[in-house]
Amino acid sequence: MGYFWALVSVLLVSCAQLIMKWAMVELPLVNQPHELVTAVLSLTPGAVALLTGLCAYACSMGCWFLALRKIALSKAYPLLSLSYVIVWAAAIWLPWLHEGFSVGKLAGVGVIFIGLLLVCIPDRKR
Mean pLDDT of all residues in 102-106? 92
Mean pLDDT of all residues in 98-111? 91
CB atoms within 10 A of CB 23: 20
77: confidence class by pLDDT, cuts 50, 70, 90? confident
pTM for the structure as a whole:
0.84
* DSSP assignment of 52-121: HHHHHHHHHHHHHHHHHHHS-HHHHHHHTTHHHHHHHHHHHH-GGG-PPP-HHHHHHHHHHHHHHHHHHS
The whole-number pLDDT of residue 126 equals: 55
The model's pLDDT over 46-63, given as tens digits with 9 standing for 90+, comes to 999 999 999 999 999 999
pLDDT at 33 over 60: yes
What residues contact 10, with CB distance under 8 A and at least 6 apart? Answer: 60, 79, 80, 82, 83, 86
Range with lowest mean pLDDT among 37-46, 51-60, 61-70, 74-83 = 74-83
Share of the chain above pLDDT 70, in %: 96
The whole-number pLDDT of residue 59 equals: 97
The whole-number pLDDT of residue 99 equals: 86
Instruction: Delimit the domains of the chain by residue range.
Output: 2-120
